[in-house]
Structures are given as C-alpha cells and as structure tokens.
Amino acid sequence: MSAKFPIPNPSPLLLFFTILSILFYLTPIINSRTLRTVGSSSHLSDDSSITYLWPLPSEFTYGNETLVVDPSLSLSLFGNGGNSAIVREAFERYRTIIFKHVGSSKFGMRDLGYDITKLTVIVHSDNEELQLGVDESYTLLVAKNNGLSVIGEVTVEANTVYGALRGLETFSQLCGFDYGTKTVQIYKAPWFIKDKPRFAFRGLLLDTSRHYYPVDIIKQIIESMSYVKLNVLHWHIIDEESFPLEVPAYPKLWKGAYTKWERYTVEDAYEIVNFAKMRGINVMAEIDVPGHGESWGVGYPDLWPSTSCKEPLDVSKNFTFEVLSGILQDMREIFPFELFHLGGDEVNTDCWNNTPHVKQWLDDKNMTTKDAYEYFVLQAQEIAISKNWTPVNWEETFNTFPEKLNPRTVVHNWLGGGVCPKVVAQGLRCIYSNQGFWYLDHLDVQWDGVYDADPLEGISDSAEQDRVLGGEVCMWSETADPSNVQQTIWPRAASAAERLWSSKETAPRSNARVLRRLQYMRCLLTRRGVPASPVTNFYARSSPIGPGSCYDQ
Amino acid sequence: MSAKFPIPNPSPLLLFFTILSILFYLTPIINSRTLRTVGSSSHLSDDSSITYLWPLPSEFTYGNETLVVDPSLSLSLFGNGGNSAIVREAFERYRTIIFKHVGSSKFGMRDLGYDITKLTVIVHSDNEELQLGVDESYTLLVAKNNGLSVIGEVTVEANTVYGALRGLETFSQLCGFDYGTKTVQIYKAPWFIKDKPRFAFRGLLLDTSRHYYPVDIIKQIIESMSYVKLNVLHWHIIDEESFPLEVPAYPKLWKGAYTKWERYTVEDAYEIVNFAKMRGINVMAEIDVPGHGESWGVGYPDLWPSTSCKEPLDVSKNFTFEVLSGILQDMREIFPFELFHLGGDEVNTDCWNNTPHVKQWLDDKNMTTKDAYEYFVLQAQEIAISKNWTPVNWEETFNTFPEKLNPRTVVHNWLGGGVCPKVVAQGLRCIYSNQGFWYLDHLDVQWDGVYDADPLEGISDSAEQDRVLGGEVCMWSETADPSNVQQTIWPRAASAAERLWSSKETAPRSNARVLRRLQYMRCLLTRRGVPASPVTNFYARSSPIGPGSCYDQ
C-alpha cells in the first residue's frame, strides 16, 4: 500500500511541474475548451462554475470530467520526507472523511472499476520542524490515469510534510459523495492546483481562562482549524479569572484554577501541542503580563501588590520576574513555536500608585507608573528572548513606547485599524486582529465583515507588507465556553482563513458567490461533525430561524 | 488481557451475588462504619457525601477509601456472552475516556503500584438481541484486591451485554483524574452497586426533516445518550419539509430532500442503527402519516390530493398505501426494533373535503373526514403489524378514536398531562412526552421542570403503571440544526434520563443537591467533548452570562 523511493535530484520540483504540465495538457481525455484558468471569481458566470473549495487555491485549472474514487484508495509516499508519520496519519484521517458513506457498505460496490485508485504524495524535505514561515505550498494533480502518465491519478507534491497536509485537505474537498451512484466522485476533473498561503501566520486565539475548555474540546477546535488551513492556535492560557496550567517550577500557580478539575497538566499541554503539530498547526502560548494577572496570586499572594491591588502584578519585586522566568522556562519545554505572546494589554497602573511599597519603589527609581509599565514589558521581553523566544505583545505596548520595544517584537493589533501600518513602518512585525472585524465575541460582525477585512490595509510598500506576518481571529471566552465555542468560531473564522490564505486576486471581496461557497463550506464542516452556525443570521451563533436546507442558511 | 471461561451453572447470578456480598462485607479493608446504604439523598448531609453518578443507581453502598487505577487496566471476560464485540469495543471506548489524561504520558508513572489493575466483566447470556425490555440490570463491585477475594478489583456482572454496557458507564463515572497525583482515582471505595432501570423505554426524539443532521452529528448524539443510559433514539426521519431517507422500493421519494446532499442512504441508516446497538440504544423509526407528509409528493405527486392540498396524504388512493407499505417493507430490513412510530398527529383534514376526487371517495364510502383519518391510521397500523411491527401513534389518534386503535398500540403522549392515565386505564401502553416538560424545543423549561415531570403521574394501579413503557424527550428541529442541537439537548435530557432510570425513592425531586450533581454531569459531558449548555441559565442553550467555573454554571 505504500513505498518509499528517494527522489535522486534533491530539487526536482520545477522539472516535475514541467513534466506534470506537459502530461496534463497532452492528455487526450481533456477537452481544452473546458479548461479555465481562474484568477478571480468574475471569470465565472453560473452556479455550476463555482469552485467549492475553501480557502480558494492561488492557481487552479479544471476540466469537465467526473471521476470515481476507489474506496480502497491507496497511498504511495515518495521523497525524503515521504515516510513521515504526519503524512500517513493525515491520509488515514482524510480517508475516513472522504469515505464516510461507503466505508463499511456492501451496497456501494461498483462493477465498472474506478478512475482514481491511488494517491501519491511526494515530500521533498524530511525536516518536520514546524516554524513560522514553514513552506506550506503544494501542487495537486487529479486526473484519470490514461496509461500514458507516469504520475497518474492523484499526486500531491510539496516541499514539506505541512504542504502535503494542505494538499490533502484540498483533495478531500474535491471529493464528494454522490448519493445517486453511492460513490465518491470528483467533479470537473482534471484538476491542476498550485497553491501557497498569502500569509505565514493564520491564527485563532482561544481564551481558556474566562472559561475552561477540556482537552477534547481544544482538540476539536484544532481539528476544525485544519479544515480551513489555519495554522496557529494562540493559546491565551491564563488571565485574571483563572490560572489553569501546571507550572512545575511554581507548583502553586494552578491553585488559581477555578476548581481542581479545570486544569491542564504539562502532559495535557504537550498533548495539545503534538495534536496540533500533526495537523500543521503551531501553538503560540500567551502569558499576559503585567495586567490580567490576578489569578497568579491565588497560589503566590506576594505577586499581588496588595490584597486590594491584585493586578498589575507587583512590578517592584524580583520575585515577580523570577516567577515569570520560571513559567517561561517550563513553557519553553512544551511550546517549540518561536513566537511567545507576553500580552501587555489593558494595564491600569492606578493601584501601583496606591500601594505604598510599590509607590516607594517607583519613587526610588524615579519612575512614573507608565515608566514602570514599560519596565515590566521590557523585562518580560528580555526574559523571553533569553530563552530563545521571539516576543509578541498586544498593541498597547507599541502605542505607549514604540521606540523602546525590542526590534524582534511582533506587535499584535486589536484596538482598531491603522496600527499595523505604523508598526511595519517602524520596522517591527505585525499581526492583525482588528477587533471591529476579527474579534469573534463581537457577535454583530457578520461573515462578510470578517471576510473583507485585510491585514495589509493601508500598507503599500512591499517590504512593509512583508512585515505583516498575517492575522488572527480572537475567541475571547467571557460568554463562550465548551457549549458554544465552535458555534461562535464557525463559520466566521473561515472567512478570515480565506482572507489569510488566498491571494487578493483570487478572493478580492465578499459577494453572493463567496456566500454560496461559504454556505457550502459551513455544511461541509457540519458533515465533519463541527457544529458551525448558520452563515446568514445577523448575530453570530444564533439558531436557525426556521426549517430549511443547511445550504440556504 | 482477556479470557473466556464458560460459567458452568447457567443461572449463577444469585449465588454469585451472595458470594460477592459475603466477600464484600468480610473484607477487612472496609470499615463498616463508613458504609452507607443510600436510598434517598436525604440520608446525606454534606457536599462530600454527594454521589457524583448520573443517573443514580437504584442501590449502592460506598466506603471511604481512595483507590488508584492502573492505566494499563486489563479486561477479563466471562460467561456465555463474555466474548461479545459489543463489550470489548465498549471497554476500549471507556478506557479512552477514563485514561484521557494519562494515556500517552511518561510523567504519570507510579512507583507504588495500583489498587485496580483488572476489570472483570461477566455476561450470562449470549443473546445480543436488543429489544424493548431487554435486561439492563447489572452489579458493579469496586474494591481493592486484598488477596482474599477471587472476584477482586472491579467486577461488572450482568445478564446481557447491554447490562454490562450500563455497568461500564457507571464505572467510568466513578473514575476521576486526580491532577495532584496525575492518576485515575476512585473515591469512596469500596463500591457495591446493584442497578436496573425504572423504565424500559428511555428515549430521545431527533427530527431530521426540519433540518438535516449529517451522520456524524447523529452519532455524536447517540454517543452522548449512552452517557446517561438513554436507550431509544426516536428517529423522526421525515416530515412535511423534507424526505431525506432513501427508499429502494420508491426511489423518487428522497427527491423530497432539501438538496441532493441532505440525504440518508440505506447504508447510512444501517450504520446509525448499528452504531446505536453497539451502545445499547435502539432506533425507533417514524413515518408520520397521514399529516406531515407533504415532502412525499415531491417524488410522487399522486400522493398529494392536489397541488393545492399536499397533506394529509391522499386517503382515497390505493397508491398511497402501496407506497406506505413499500416504505415499511424497506425499513423493516433496516430497523430491528419492534416499535415503529406511525405518527398520526396534527392531521387537518379540511383540504380533503375541498378536493373533488377525495370528497367523492368520502361520499362513496359514506365517511366523514374524521372517519377517513381513522381509516388511514388503522390501515397504517395494519400494514405495520403485518410486517411484525408494534405500532406507536401520537396521542391524537387515541384522543379521537380510543376504542378503535389496535390493542397492541403504544400511545405517545405529547399534548399535556393526564393522557397516559387514560391510555393505560384502557389497556393500551403509553410513552410519556408531555410537551410542557419534555419538549426540548420549549427553551423556557429549565432542568428542574424536566426533572420533576413523571411518566407515572396520576397512575397508582401497579398493572396500569406497568403499561407505561417510559418516556422520551423530544428534539424538534424547527430552530435546531447541527450547530445547536447538542446544546439544546444537554443538559436537560440528562434530567429526564435520571427520572427514567433511577427509582423514585433514589431520585424523588429536584433540589440543590441534584443541581450540584447535574452541574457535575454537565461538566463531565464537556470533558467527553459534548457541548452541553450551562445548567442554570433561564433559557436553554443560552450562552454563559460571564466568566466562571463550569461547575457553577
């Protein structure tokens, strides 16, 4: 069912594509008049021409054939990275998804044979490190094997295993169960897809402090992220309300959890990171300092300036930074992603001034509270950098002391528009999460508002554009918990996912055809067990207003 | 890891229990002063005495020991039914649930050894038929193996595999992950539980016509039902809005589906029935005639009296009953459960009178439309009975012509209270679903309203009580779909599940302690990946109103 052959030429991608393309265009089964090169949806005129892929690939052509896929579809792996467990497990997951309806059936037998019996995956690199900017590009060829092609049937080619994962997801979306023939079919073949992401950072924030999410729920969220090619789970682990994570260096910290059951062990965190990695998703952890830290003091009350001033954390004590360093040291073991989020938002320093020993310390240092806020953030950055992390901070840090931030800082926008342009103009990097569009707890933002937001808005210089790493939709959990989180995330996170993955030419703006595609994608999510909400309801996560088809709601 | 030995005595249950009990009471590790026999919650006085099991077993005693469970827990099977795949697969499911946090961990190692390393399941019968009234009783013993006991550790004994499933669920609820020691622990051991259901029929209705539910979503619902020992999925497959099911005898019927994708093949239906059976859950199919049938005519317009009168189905044509018979014949292959629901509710016959050929037929037969309604229902009953089915009908049939219903009829209450008493007084059987309490789409009914409803209300005669098969909570889908169905079902369906399983003595009425247990159960559901809503919100499926612990919301 599988084999591994080294590809002799270490960099055969271009050659391979050339051969592929030649074979593809020569193949007699293809009527060239049916091929369309699709750059923007305006090339398409009727509904059957809608390409039901989400997010849209950057380049693709298709034909007019319908191919039938063998439920015993086999996998052949090639290349230096070919023997990867990441690819093998992904293939098994996608096989389960693709053949949901025919797997155990004795009724779906087909006498005529199948057009597609084999899936070939070629991965050139055996480097499985998952870092910012990892190569996620892939090509996907789907064509009937006519005996001429040595490539044949379905071929996913990628430089890394993570590109292969993206290609498998796209392939799975090309496959649909046909209820008439009870077979899995691919419409509009042959397909030739050449795809890569627009942005390296395509994130979703999950806040596990305002409400606790069991590991299974987090896994469900990660799994669903992979369906739209999101690639960063920003884990906002801790906030003032609860401290759910185990920190071996300071074992009383997770006394700040809501209950003894609402906690994550170190092993849970490893499990989450590994589960995400198998799906090509990084986990960016956040420790939000010095504000939002009240729960730290449940275990270590010395971290509170006083019992009437429980946050910001006590800037005057070395102990505060020792604990922070201990946390970051322990987390360095768990989270291999190079970005680490240090928060820094919504810091109200009033009560520092009202706490005698802190006030004394400020006076001794000749600092204002604003200076002390800067001092805290920069100290935290130093600690993170010393542990080989790239610090990420919410935009208030940039808005307050833009010149002082470490040059490696990634600034995380949230308060509104116009911030990333300033950040990148100053040479820093930026993540876009304008709350007016990409805060999922803003229930009155509809799918199209999310879709039309753009991380590059107001940035025309290409070097500056390059400093926008991407963007992130944020799922704050004041009113979200395991009961409604997926409904709040989906389908709107899919809007952002297409904005972040697809080129602006391919996916310029929302329109009725994009809506049809998103409704289709929402229904696809429900078929995969994800409780995605109706697309067109005014308020997010609201119930359908009456009976009807998933595809119309 | 497992073995199978025949138990020589074909009926050793009583003997076995006697031995068990003797061993249990003699075992020196048990301090008899800590044993409590719990009949009602009023015996308990403080929070730590709350028994976090849902639904509560009919008899149980416990001690004050904490036992540690080996993550390599092995299964030993005995008895004629011991080698059942149903039990083996259930054990694997529960092992995954119980050891969620320690499965792949190298950190949870324990030097001290474990108190519980073996789970013994004894199933006396090899009959795996799952029918109404199947024996679901079980005993569960959990005690440290002190070397004296030949039974030892954990023993589930049951007459059938389905009793064993119930015992495994209870065992899984006794096991909790302790974050301090990173081990799975059982508190308040030793446990001796002797349990059986109060009612044979403990159902949940799912309406797949007003909205379509993909197979994966239906499986999620079935899986979650098993966690509270519900045992019937009442599949309201078809209604006026859509006809999603394939019927081979009349292949145009599922043209009445919303779209070509919102359908169930025969194989899907088999898959659902089998998935449910593996969890001890029957599927009761419903074909709701003659009202609620408009979607039938999309494929076969002759079933409509006219294009302006699309329901009730045309009573005047033989074709109508031929189609009905064809459907029931095909469904007989799929649904082995002896009960089949024929609907019969909300039949407005006005348009029969306004359709000339139907009016002519009525006149020829000297029938009123009410007579024709009765005629239709009784014809449908005959067809179902001829195919060896026991007919179930909504209460309107009983309310309209109580004396005419086939004596085998099971009447399904919904309109309000007081119906089952009349039904059972007349010698028919009844299922309780009083919409004021057990219609889950009534979002203003809280958990305690659901809990305090009782299928036996107003019925004191014990023979009459025996004719109440049980009850069912109903998830109508006008405003429910895959995005919110689990949130609407849970946690309120759990309230009904305890009412239907636990004896009235064990679970008399809602109170603050029951609420604590239900909050705990809701959080347990979320830990298993089920998006159960906050318990205490006024409206069902509403979001949490602010940050907080799952256990308080």
User: Domain extents for chain A?
Assistant: 12-30+59-195, 201-339+368-377+395-509
Which pLDDT score, from 0 to 100, does residue A145 have? 75
Q: Name the residue among A104, A260, A526 with its Cβ closest to that of B217.
A: A526
Give the chain A residue nearest B528 (alpha carbons): A216
In chain B, what residues touch A267 (CB-CB under 8 Å)? 101-102, 104-105, 107-108, 182
Q: pLDDT band at residue A86, thresholds of 50, 70 and 90?
A: very high
**Shortest alpha-carbon distance between residue B506 and chain A (Å):** 27
ipTM of model: 0.91
In chain B, what residues touch A487 (CB-CB under 8 Å)? 483-484, 487
The label of the residue with tokens 């919504």 reads: A346
- Non-local (6+) Cβ contacts of A507 within 8 A are A41, A55, A56, A498, A499, A514
- Examine the pLDDT at A39 and tell me if it is beyond 50: no
Which pLDDT score, from 0 to 100, does residue B83 have? 86
Q: Name the residue among B268, B528, B552 with its Cβ closest to that of A101.
A: B268
Asked if A180's CB is within 8 angstroms of B529's CB, the reply is no
Strand partners, B116: B69
Q: Indicate which residue of A59, A346, A382, A457 is catalytic.
A: A346
Task: Give dist(CA A345, CA A342) in Å, integer.
Answer: 9
Which pLDDT score, from 0 to 100, does residue A147 have? 64
User: Looking at residues B250-277, what average pLDDT do you find?
Assistant: 97
Task: Give dist(CA B297, CA B292) in Å, integer.
Answer: 11
Cα separations (Å) of B129 from B123, B163, B275?
Answer: 14, 12, 14
Asked if A212's CB is within 8 angstroms of B550's CB, the reply is yes
Task: Give dist(CA B238, CA A350) in Å, integer.
Answer: 63
Q: Name the residue among A101, A216, A242 with its Cβ closest to that of B267.
A: A101
Q: pLDDT band at residue A148, thresholds of 50, 70 and 90?
A: low
Which pLDDT score, from 0 to 100, does residue A113 have? 80
Which pLDDT score, from 0 to 100, does residue B152 have? 62
What CATH number does domain A12-30+59-195 carry, 3.30.70.100, 3.30.1330.200, 3.30.379.10, 3.40.50.10440? 3.30.379.10
User: Looking at residues B84-98, what average pLDDT do you find?
Assistant: 96
- Examine the pLDDT at B192 and tell me if it is beyond 60: yes
Strand partners, A126: none
Give the chain B residue nearest A488 (alpha carbons): B483
Which pLDDT score, from 0 to 100, does residue B150 have? 54
The tokens for B452 are: 């305090």
**Shortest alpha-carbon distance between residue B55 and chain A (Å):** 21
User: Looking at residues B230-242, what average pLDDT do you find?
Assistant: 98
Mean pLDDT of chain A: 90
Q: pLDDT band at residue B520, thresholds of 50, 70 and 90?
A: very high
- Examine the pLDDT at B107 and tell me if it is beyond 70: no
In chain B, what residues touch A531 (CB-CB under 8 Å)? 217, 482-486, 531
In chain B, what residues touch A108 (CB-CB under 8 Å)? 267
* pLDDT tens per residue across span B126-169: 999 999 999 999 999 999 877 665 556 899 999 999 999 999 99
* pLDDT tens per residue across span B277-316: 999 999 999 999 999 999 999 999 999 999 999 999 999 9
* pLDDT tens per residue across span A14-33: 444 444 444 444 443 333 33
Asked if A216's CB is within 8 angstroms of B528's CB, the reply is yes
Cα separations (Å) of A300 from A51, A313, A352?
Answer: 56, 11, 18
* pLDDT tens per residue across span B210-225: 999 999 999 999 999 9
CATH architecture of the domain formed by A201-339+368-377+395-509: Alpha-Beta Barrel (3.20)
User: Looking at residues B534-552, what average pLDDT do you find?
Assistant: 96
Which pLDDT score, from 0 to 100, does residue A101 have? 85
Q: pLDDT band at residue B22, thresholds of 50, 70 and 90?
A: very low
Model's pTM, two decimal places? 0.92
Which pLDDT score, from 0 to 100, does residue B149 have? 57
Edge-first strand order for the sheet with A191-195 is A36-37, A59-62, A191-195, A138-143, A153-158, A116-123, A65-78, A183-189, A175-178
- Non-local (6+) Cβ contacts of A163 within 8 A are A123, A135, A136, A137, A138
In chain B, what residues touch A209 (CB-CB under 8 Å)? 547
**Shortest alpha-carbon distance between residue B473 and chain A (Å):** 20
- Examine the pLDDT at B43 and tell me if it is beyond 50: no
Q: Would you call B25 helix, strand, or coil by DSSP?
A: helix
Least confident of A6-15, A121-130, A519-528: A6-15
Q: pLDDT band at residue A144, thresholds of 50, 70 and 90?
A: confident
**Shortest alpha-carbon distance between residue A179 and chain B (Å):** 7
